[in-house]
A and B are shown apart, each in its own frame.
Chain A
Amino acid sequence: DIQMTQSPSSLSASVGDRITITCRASQDISDYLAWFQQKPGKAPKSLIYAASTLHSGVPSKFSGSGSGTDFTLTISSLQPEDFATYYCQQYDTYPLTFGPGTTVDVK
């Protein structure tokens, strides 16, 4: 199975900060990488697929990059609604696997 890791596991930031989350796959997954946002008590929300393509309606402050095994999610200017947990996921191979998540909270 493909293992997904994320760093950091948590980070504290302020409104207006630019933050970057890293996701690493245990083997080459090309660009079959997605990012999700989840707030407490809510269903996940799909942000990005194909490593860098935003889903419809996702604001452009979110961006993704990478290919192969190393990927990043960047939020250019953190807003109050962005404090949440972020997960990466590979959909290259069964079983699909998620990273353990990165929680972004208020500094």
Chain B
Amino acid sequence: DVHLVESGGGLVQPGRSLRLSCEASGFTFDDYAMHWVRQAPGKGLEWVSGISWNSDRIGYADSVKGRFSISRDNAKNSLYLHMNSLRPEDTAFYFCAKGRKYHSLSPFDNWGQGTLVTVSP
């Protein structure tokens, strides 16, 4: 079974940084694209960023471009989201999601349970 487990969330002050991790198991991690999706409390889903299997194709939402950076370590079966210059509007549950194929423009199939990031003074 595919398992995706996010970690690294918590309370952080505006302007500070945080790194989220997503540990994957149950599949050949370096065969698939991966994504981050967030959801502010009581709001809808917002795609944040995606990365292809070998990191050669990366995309970001306009709302995080220049502040967030996605990366992956295929040797560790792990996906990361480096978040800088955090703002209160970045407060959300952050989910990692697995793509069905190696390239980042592929549909999602499996999701993690999410980790909560709260940006507040």
Nearest CB in chain B: distance from A46 CB, A: 5
Segment among B17-25, B71-79, B84-92, B109-117 that sits at the interface with chain A: B109-117
Residue of A nearest to B65 (CB): A95
Decide if A96 touches B95 in the complex (CB within 8 Å). no
Q: How far is the CA of A1 from the CA of B47 in the complex (A)?
A: 12
Decide if A62 is an interface residue (CB 8 Å cutoff): no
Cross-chain contact A101 with B105 (CB below 8 angstroms): no
CB closest residue in chain A, given B95: A43
B59 contacts A95, C-beta separation under 8 Å: yes
Complex Cα–Cα for A45 and B112 (A): 10
Is the CB–CB distance between A98 and B44 below 8 Å? Answer: yes
CA distance A46 to B45 in the complex (A): 13
Q: Please name the residue on chain B nearest to A49 by beta carbon.
A: B107
- CA separation between A34 and B47, bound complex, in Å? 13
**Besides A93-B105, A96-B105, 20 new A-B residue pairs in contact (Cβ under 8 A), listed by A number:** A32-B105, A32-B107, A36-B108, A38-B45, A43-B111, A43-B112, A43-B113, A44-B45, A44-B111, A46-B108, A46-B109, A87-B44, A89-B45, A91-B105, A91-B106, A94-B50, A94-B60, A95-B47, A95-B62, A97-B47
Top 3 closest pairs, chain A to chain B, by CB: A49-B107, A94-B59, A96-B47
- 17 residue pairs of the A-B complex, CB under 8 angstroms, read A32-B105, A34-B107, A34-B108, A36-B45, A38-B45, A43-B95, A43-B111, A43-B112, A43-B114, A44-B37, A44-B45, A46-B107, A50-B107, A91-B105, A96-B105, A97-B47, A98-B47
